[in-house]
Amino acid sequence: MRKRGITGLLYIFNLTLLLWLMGTAVSYGQDVSFSQYYTNPLYLNPAFAGTIGAPRIALQYRNQWQQFDGAYTSYSAAFDAPVKKLQGGLGVYLLNDAQASQMLNSFQLNVAYSVKVRLNEDYFFHGGIQVGYAENTLKTNELVFADNMENNGGIPGSSAEVFTDPKFSYLDYSFGLLIYSKKVFGGLTIHHLTEPDLSFSEDNSYDRKLPRKYSLHAGARLPVFRHGHLHKKFDISPQLILQKQGVSEQVNYGMFATKNGFTGGAWFRQNFGIKYDAVILLVGYTTPWMQLTYSYDWTVSGLAGQTGGTSEISLAFVLNKRRDGGRLPFFVPYEERFGGQ
330 is a domain residue: no
The residue range of the domain holding 54 is: 2-198+208-318
Write the CB contacts of 157 (distance below 8 Å, at least 6 apart in sequence): 147
Residue 5: band (very low, low, confident or very high) from pLDDT cuts 50, 70, 90: very low
Q: What is the pLDDT of residue 133?
A: 97
> What does the pLDDT read at residue 332?
56
Cα(275)–Cα(287) distance, integer angstroms: 37
Task: Decide: helix, strand or coil at residue 182.
Answer: coil
Give per-residue pLDDT as tens, 241-264.
Answer: 999 999 889 999 999 888 888 889
Confidence of residue 307 (pLDDT cuts 50, 70, 90): low
In a domain, 239, yes or no: yes
pLDDT recorded at residue 62: 92
Residue-wise pLDDT for 12-23, tens only, equals: 444 444 444 444
Which range (72-81, 110-119, 166-175, 218-227) has the least confidence? 218-227
Position 161 in a domain: yes
Q: To the nearest 10°, report the CA torsion of 189, 195, 75, 293.
A: 20
pLDDT of 199 over the 60 cut:
yes
Classify residue 340: in a domain, yes or no. no
> Residue 111 has what pLDDT?
98
Is position 329 within any domain?
Answer: no
Whole-structure pTM value? 0.79
What does the pLDDT average to over 296-300? 87
Q: Are 289 and 88 in contact (CB under 8 A)?
A: no
Residue 71: is its pLDDT beyond 60? Answer: yes
Question: Does 338 map to a domain?
Answer: no
Question: How does pLDDT run across 90-107, given as a tens digit for each residue?
Answer: 999 999 998 876 678 899
Residue 269 vs residues 134, 243, 281, 303: alpha-carbon distances, Å? 27, 11, 11, 14
What was the pLDDT predicted at 70? Answer: 64
Tens digit of each residue's pLDDT (9 = 90 or more) over 318-336: 887 766 545 555 655 545 4
CATH number of domain containing 261: 2.40.160.40
- Look at residue 172 and tell me if it is in a domain: yes
Q: Does residue 262 form part of some domain?
A: yes
Q: Which residue has the higher pLDDT, 287 or 130?
A: 130
The number of folded domains in the chain is 1
